[in-house]
Amino acid sequence: MKEKPQIEDVKKAKEQIKGYIHRTPVMTSQTLNKMTGRKLFFKCENFQKTSSFKIRGATNAVLSLSQTEASRGVATHSSGNHAAALAQAARWRNIPAYVVMPNTAPQVKQAAVAGYGAQITFCEPTLAAREAGLREVIACTGATEIHPYDDYRVIAGQGTAALELLENNPDLDTVLTPVGGGGLLSGTAIVATAMLPHIQVIGVEPQAADDAYRSLQAGHRIEAGPTNTVADGLRTSLGYKTFPIIQHLVSEIITVSEEEIVQAMRFVWERMKIIIEASSAVPVAALLSGRLHTSRRRVGVILSGGNVDLKQLPWM
């Protein structure tokens, strides 16, 4: 896909991947509704295959490859969720997957990627090291790169989560998603603004990794630089392809503190009885902290994943 995806591309992606992924549930919480003064609808991608929304984009991208493109396998760099998703999608197509992972990636995510059959190369936890490692892997294998977020096929696949959410709940007036590289947020924005022109699409990110917020304020893409946030899936910079979509279609980027992220994650575990990872808790933190200032009341929240190292819970 060479052009920016439209909602028709997301609908095509939905048809292409529907035999492989779950249509995840939308859950509610009366407790959270009362606390926030809103009606909240949680799209639970933590129940998705590989336990995150990433399987949507990875599967759409892998299934979109020609036989020639796929024949030497696929490669990416990822801190975990996209890596696991790409490995599983490659397994479905019976092709090899090569993954460059930062050596600080959570052990549970490393184990998952290996378990899905990918060949892992570890690197230092910087974007430059990840990209250099990926170039070397591709040079050695000839594999086709599937970027974690800066790929229109991936963006279209990620947009299918919002498509399902709005099909079930067509009267939402706001949608919140976490934002790291921007694949989920840009895919969500494409779908939501096409289906409901009045809707607000809002991204939420850690204050410790606030490049999306700063980029929107500056009017141009800003690199994240070194980050240290409990939301490990959100440490990447916005993509060159995702930023223009977000700049055009997203209403606002909100930032939340590390303490607010951990409190929100624990609250969802305790009150909703579902496991979400810290990256998923970021939009919940915006709601619980009062940082979402819109007067709109019917809010969809995409819980992006549930891959958690139970030996290193952030409140322990």
pLDDT digits (tens, 9 = 90+) for 234-245: 988 899 999 999
Strands 39-44 and 26-27: antiparallel
pLDDT confidence of residue 43: 98
Mean pLDDT across the stretch 299-304? 98
Q: Do the domains spanning 7-52+151-303 and 55-145 agree at the CATH topology level?
A: yes
- pTM for this prediction: 0.95
pLDDT of amino acid 295:
85
Is pLDDT of 106 > 90? no
Provide the pLDDT for residue 287: 97
pLDDT for residue 225: 78
Q: Given this model, what pLDDT does residue 128 score?
A: 84
Average pLDDT over residues 128-150: 94
Q: What was the pLDDT predicted at 173?
A: 96
Res 54: pLDDT: 97
**Phi and psi dihedrals of 173, rounded to 5?**
-115, -5
Average pLDDT over every residue of 174-200 = 97
Per-residue pLDDT band at 257 (split at 50, 70, 90): very high
Tell me how long the chain is. 316
Tell me the pLDDT band of 119, cut-offs 50, 70 and 90: very high
Among 44, 74, 46, residue whose Cα is nearest residue 58: 74
Residue 288 has pLDDT above 90, yes or no: yes
Backbone conformation region of residue 178, classed left if phi is above 0, alpha if psi is from -120 to 50, else beta: beta
- 40 phi, psi to nearest 5 deg: -105, 140
Structural tokens at position 282: 């970021």
53 with 161: CB under 8 angstroms? yes
Each residue of 1-15: pLDDT tens digit? 778 999 999 999 999
Q: What is the mean pLDDT of residues 64-68?
A: 96
Percent of the chain with pLDDT strictly greater than 70? 100
Q: Which of 150-164, 252-266, 282-296 has the lowest average pLDDT?
A: 282-296
CATH code that applies to domain 55-145: 3.40.50.1100
Answer whether residue 35 shows pLDDT above 80: yes
7-52+151-303 maps to CATH 3.40.50.1100: yes
| 179/311: higher pLDDT | 179
How do the domains of the chain map onto residue ranges?
Answer: 7-52+151-303, 55-145
CB atoms within 10 A of CB 223: 11
Computed on alpha carbons and rounded to an integer, the radius of gyration of the chain in Å comes to 18
Kindly state the tokens that stand for 101.
Answer: 């992972």
Residues annotated as catalytic are 54, 79
